[in-house]
Structure 1
């Protein structure tokens, strides 16, 4: 073995043995990783290699990248891989971390260099302003995506647009429509293909209203259009359809074959347009409008030098992939090549981003005056913290108007705040569906939906198998247990029985059941509010039927709780009309409520903001691992603001589409057809009215 090889091996071993400053066992460095959404999971494959070879590095699974950033800032983990967009969020949230290494896979200082290319036919004879050159031209827009890759994120696209356009701030138009109007007013026509907003109906409305922005497209102005995306927008330009586009400098060079000696025929008709209104030949060095940095390794201050030594060891060894702990670490870091040389000294996020021309400016664009917000009401400190992080993450990706968070003591207080106009929206489960419509004059603008029936909010009638109750009609005269009065179970059962047993609402409330326990009804409290106590009432023989969810029943049936031993005789009673699913009703996991009297523009904005947040941070592609997780755990707690089983946010129209339209007895649709809640009001306030009348009578007698 040569001396040089021995020295390299010695240095590599020293790296492993000399960490000591990490937050893990024996001073090990703790790496925070976020698993992707695909079938392949990195942690089970590569983390055991680090342990087996005593690499001095431990794996910690984070919920999302911002979760990892918070952990690094708190010192519970030491380093991780992040995007430059994550650093923007870290900057806004005052996260104290350092950037140690760039993860380059090409020998270029920046991951993306955005340039503008124009057809020379629109260039004036003499130097001019950018505004004058592009006014009334045809734009080949590359489109927008919800990720960090190609074509452009909405934030970066919006920044490039606003370098040219004057801002539109019409208070009668939504934020999105103001952007579209500014584009349509400035350019003669364009091909801005792809979705403009997530809601397809609203998308079609906007494309009809601003049809000039689709006039240059080859087909339907969708993401399938030949002129969509980086290559598509360059084709739009080369075909002579458009006059200007933005693109990645390498893509432009490759498309026009600038560097391979066989320049594309007609390339001489195009030029780079600079931000100052000047232009350059395509054969010259391009003038860059915007640079995007590489992904980076971020560490806590105390561990930054140790992290640099580990990252540099990947470069020193030249082994980015393959066997051994370095190959495992490279896979966990998603490093396609050895990390670039360490940043010396390690830099604060703000300083690192400053080197990328235009990038920081893209995330600090001035808003309209007065600024607009979507104010979401939360009911706990934890929920408010999650809301604020969701707001930061959304702002990074250009979700506008930005989310703003306020806190009230409970759900009822939040619904009152929405009714009073103090907040724009509040989230609540289906137990609040009727009260929100009836008592607070609200409407559910979006629902937390899942196509998996077992994960929805279901209401099932459970009975004792020895009770001789075999059909729903047998429940007349029996003792009924509800989780609470005025909730989803109460209204579901009331609707089913009044519809199928042909009894009046008044008869149902007053005499259908021999006895009702529904905490809150007539001021009675036979047990604590909740499904567990309603089930316990049935198991203990205090009730004949309990109306609870499948989830609660399965939780106790399959758990080691004492109640599970007594549940062997508890069985579901399936409605004759719903033997397949066996429930009395089902409803979405949760709802976003807004005031019933908000303007249509404001409703569009509210729906657009939350559906964009859902696309970015919900359970959708395209992210390999997300910046933030709307439906995941937050600070190790589940069901914060939104439910973990939520698949997506959707308007009520989704309930009439596949697969939801095939599932009978949906509570949202039932409630939407109810216009008279007199029966419920009567049952709820009768005792207080009687007491009021009695008090008044006593007062009159005594006076």
Structure 2
């Protein structure tokens, strides 16, 4: 009866303070982040909260940091978070309180990391940790994408930092500095699993620092018998000297629980951070690091109500309750742990301070001078997302950290990269050729998608009644482009020059008329502007640009062919363009190149690119690739390892395609173009740029065709495959 009375009081307390919620009629609003599997908690359980007047409302968040921002702004009241989320909240000065822990076992911390050593390396008497384990054989549990197992890069780096001197060789990346220091300190080791995401670089590092794989039983990857928590303990039992491991795993492995163990405990001991050691069967082993439990976090104004509500769910019967309490328990994932109330609720800093080493792991000093990678952004929203991406990445030990700068537009950011004021900029394929030509940059990574229709494609579209059946029939026709100097422009230029084996000057006889809006923004004469835009649409004196206008020109008969993306063509055929001219339902067809009947486009490229200076050192190139591919692994779409803390490719502040494209599947180097399925898709723009001479077209090839000189500042634009030549 006593527990029932407590629950009754708590429920009454919830009803009393519900008016402090941010929802309708003072309801408490719960922020939910859906997983990536087929089971959708919100769709199944949120309607129950509404139907039964639970006084709780669901709000779907993009990721957990999105939910934290909403709680801080007061638009939602609470949610479930990891202790790593609290680190990001603390750094970002998000004002929230921790109201309940979600404990799945009766112990104060979810994880307790200890060091276990073979007694043969231990020395009696006072000594130092350094003296005990230097030149020993390390069985490293490895690093994974999961928060828990084997361990995050941050926690692994922290444990290593308690043993190693910090290495800051300016000629090496920060990652290689860590690996080299580990190899120099230990005699040999098994550090199985990936060291960096890029497999070629990973193989190179493992060849260079082979001693860190010398103690492995296999290939030093995730299939090695010594990889992971269990593998590291097996390594220790069979050949190693020391390892870091989860305390519970150690007790199970060495037979210190009721389950049968795998090795004799008397041959091993816990090693403490001061170099002393303790028997494995001791009741209070020395712990190097604690990781707290997941928690419920609330805004200050709603903290009392949230704590009371969560505490009312501590009765195990709610897990089978088919009413709103059972639905709320499922949404809060109570099945993973009962909500233990914190009295009073704590700030993130105070809550994390209880866990030995955890806060310190996220406060490690860097090299001096500090390193960073400056990403130039073109909007305030992009800059905000960049900063939150940096917070999330820093929590997981990704170094060097991002630094986010701001440029007025893409050209300003490209100039900043060229001048050395920024390191990288993210652009779409629309800017790829112009950026490489004018700003001495090149793609260091690509935003890739395996779905061809979602890539950046260029297709030639004509009216079905035009009797144009192949690309050869396009010669002498009227052409419309979305914009001058963009991806469609350069794709058509390169395709026809290659297909017909013609020169730059020959292109002056290819199309009779052309619409290439945007030329008016370049430093060219009026005569040039007229020739490039006389067949374009104009509104209030402004020349209209974009794929929709190029497509419209073909529908209305102003042009014979439009060079647009397959996506825009599919929108038209699906009647998804809400314009009067599109209602005519004029039948359009793509003109398929002979060499690409399957996909029908004349060009495809990745949807976005991370551009960096051409003259990067090998070390700096590796560092940038490592940082962004690690961010991609953690916060991209690598199911089931996607970390719901942050979504690189998800919406941000309710907007799509901020900083990165939402259709991006992964970040990849140029090597992706040589792998399946990309190597089998013809007419790739990036490959053609990489394998051809960029300076094959010169101004002298066509200046006479216009009967006018270009201004000197435009000459750079002319070089490197810039202008289609028009016959006047």
2:655 equivalent in structure 1: 637
Relative to 1, partners in 2 of residues 1:321 and 1:604: Cα closer, same or farther, differing over 3 Å?
Answer: farther
1:257-272 equivalences under 5 Å are 257-260=255-258, 266-272=264-270
Equivalents in 1 of 2:53, 2:703: separation in Å?
69
- Displacement, 1:467? 1.7
- Displacement, 1:194? 0.3
1:626 equivalent in structure 2: 644
2:515 to 493, 517, 532: 517
1:248 equivalent in structure 2: 246
1:164-183 equivalences under 5 Å are 164-183=163-182
For the pair 1:229 / 2:228, whether they are aligned, the reply is: yes
2:306 equivalent in structure 1: 307
- Contact 2:571/2:577, CA 8 A, preserved across alignment: no
- Displacement, 1:614? 0.3
* More displaced 10-residue stretch of structure 1: 486-495 or 592-601: 486-495
1:127 equivalent in structure 2: 126
Relative to 1, partners in 2 of residues 1:682 and 1:280: Cα closer, same or farther, differing over 3 Å?
Answer: farther
CA-to-aligned-CA distance 1:69-115 (integer Å, 9 cap, x gap) = 00000001100000000000011111011100001100111000000
Equivalents in 2 of 1:72, 1:682: separation in Å?
62
Equivalents in 2 of 1:561, 1:265: separation in Å?
71
1:698 equivalent in structure 2: none
For the pair 1:286 / 2:285, whether they are aligned, the reply is: yes
For the pair 1:356 / 2:334, whether they are aligned, the reply is: no
- Displacement, 1:317? 6.6
Relative to 1, partners in 2 of residues 1:316 and 1:688: Cα closer, same or farther, differing over 3 Å?
Answer: farther
2:162 equivalent in structure 1: 163
Equivalents in 1 of 2:407, 2:74: separation in Å?
31
1:669 equivalent in structure 2: 687
User: What is the DSSP-based 3-state SS (H/G/I as helix, E as strand, rest coil) of the residue aligned with 2:220?
Assistant: coil
For the pair 1:471 / 2:488, whether they are aligned, the reply is: no
Equivalents in 2 of 1:190, 1:10: separation in Å?
57
Equivalents in 2 of 1:133, 1:39: separation in Å?
50
Relative to 1, partners in 2 of residues 1:692 and 1:383: Cα closer, same or farther, differing over 3 Å?
Answer: closer
- Displacement, 1:13? 6.6
Q: What is the aligned length?
A: 690
Equivalents in 1 of 2:703, 2:666: separation in Å?
37
- Displacement, 1:8? 5.3
- Contact 2:469/2:591, CA 8 A, preserved across alignment: yes
- Displacement, 1:468? 2.2
User: What is the DSSP-based 3-state SS (H/G/I as helix, E as strand, rest coil) of the residue aligned with 1:405?
Assistant: strand
Equivalents in 1 of 2:682, 2:308: separation in Å?
61
User: What is the DSSP-based 3-state SS (H/G/I as helix, E as strand, rest coil) of the residue aligned with 1:315?
Assistant: coil
Question: TM-score w.r.t. structure 2 length?
Answer: 0.91
CA-to-aligned-CA distance 1:459-479 (integer Å, 9 cap, x gap) = 011111122222211111111
2:578 to 557, 561, 567: 561
- Contact 1:142/1:245, CA 8 A, preserved across alignment: yes
1:80-95 equivalences under 5 Å are 80-95=79-94
Equivalents in 2 of 1:443, 1:337: separation in Å?
47
For the pair 1:375 / 2:394, whether they are aligned, the reply is: no
User: What is the DSSP-based 3-state SS (H/G/I as helix, E as strand, rest coil) of the residue aligned with 1:593?
Assistant: strand
- Contact 2:352/2:358, CA 8 A, preserved across alignment: yes
2:540 equivalent in structure 1: none
Equivalents in 2 of 1:682, 1:419: separation in Å?
27
2:631 to 606, 613, 618: 613
1:537 to 553, 561, 567: 553
2:677 to 647, 659, 662: 659
Relative to 1, partners in 2 of residues 1:555 and 1:682: Cα closer, same or farther, differing over 3 Å?
Answer: farther
Equivalents in 1 of 2:674, 2:566: separation in Å?
23
User: What is the DSSP-based 3-state SS (H/G/I as helix, E as strand, rest coil) of the residue aligned with 1:466?
Assistant: helix
Equivalents in 1 of 2:7, 2:399: separation in Å?
52
For the pair 1:274 / 2:272, whether they are aligned, the reply is: yes
Relative to 1, partners in 2 of residues 1:16 and 1:48: Cα closer, same or farther, differing over 3 Å?
Answer: farther
Equivalents in 2 of 1:254, 1:177: separation in Å?
34
- Displacement, 1:564? 2.8
User: What is the DSSP-based 3-state SS (H/G/I as helix, E as strand, rest coil) of the residue aligned with 1:604?
Assistant: helix
User: What is the DSSP-based 3-state SS (H/G/I as helix, E as strand, rest coil) of the residue aligned with 1:319?
Assistant: helix
- Contact 1:142/1:233, CA 8 A, preserved across alignment: yes
For the pair 1:546 / 2:562, whether they are aligned, the reply is: yes
1:52 equivalent in structure 2: 51
Equivalents in 2 of 1:373, 1:432: separation in Å?
25
- Contact 1:191/1:216, CA 8 A, preserved across alignment: yes
* More displaced 10-residue stretch of structure 1: 547-556 or 646-655: 547-556
- Displacement, 1:440? 1.0
- Displacement, 1:12? 3.9
Relative to 1, partners in 2 of residues 1:408 and 1:682: Cα closer, same or farther, differing over 3 Å?
Answer: farther
For the pair 1:491 / 2:507, whether they are aligned, the reply is: no
- Contact 2:463/2:586, CA 8 A, preserved across alignment: no
Equivalents in 2 of 1:689, 1:205: separation in Å?
55
- Contact 1:146/1:397, CA 8 A, preserved across alignment: no
For the pair 1:690 / 2:709, whether they are aligned, the reply is: yes
1:151 equivalent in structure 2: 150
Equivalents in 1 of 2:6, 2:346: separation in Å?
30
**Runs (5+) with no aligned partner, structure 2:** 520-527, 537-542, 713-728
CA-to-aligned-CA distance 1:495-539 (integer Å, 9 cap, x gap) = 22122223322221x221001111234434433232111112222
1:64 equivalent in structure 2: 63
- Contact 1:193/1:225, CA 8 A, preserved across alignment: yes
Relative to 1, partners in 2 of residues 1:6 and 1:133: Cα closer, same or farther, differing over 3 Å?
Answer: closer
- Displacement, 1:341? 2.9
- Contact 2:17/2:304, CA 8 A, preserved across alignment: no
- Displacement, 1:623? 4.0
Relative to 1, partners in 2 of residues 1:516 and 1:20: Cα closer, same or farther, differing over 3 Å?
Answer: same
For the pair 1:528 / 2:544, whether they are aligned, the reply is: yes
Relative to 1, partners in 2 of residues 1:446 and 1:315: Cα closer, same or farther, differing over 3 Å?
Answer: same
User: What is the DSSP-based 3-state SS (H/G/I as helix, E as strand, rest coil) of the residue aligned with 1:342?
Assistant: strand
**Runs (5+) with no aligned partner, structure 1:** 694-703
- Contact 1:33/1:332, CA 8 A, preserved across alignment: yes
User: What is the DSSP-based 3-state SS (H/G/I as helix, E as strand, rest coil) of the residue aligned with 2:442?
Assistant: strand
1:648 to 666, 687, 711: 666
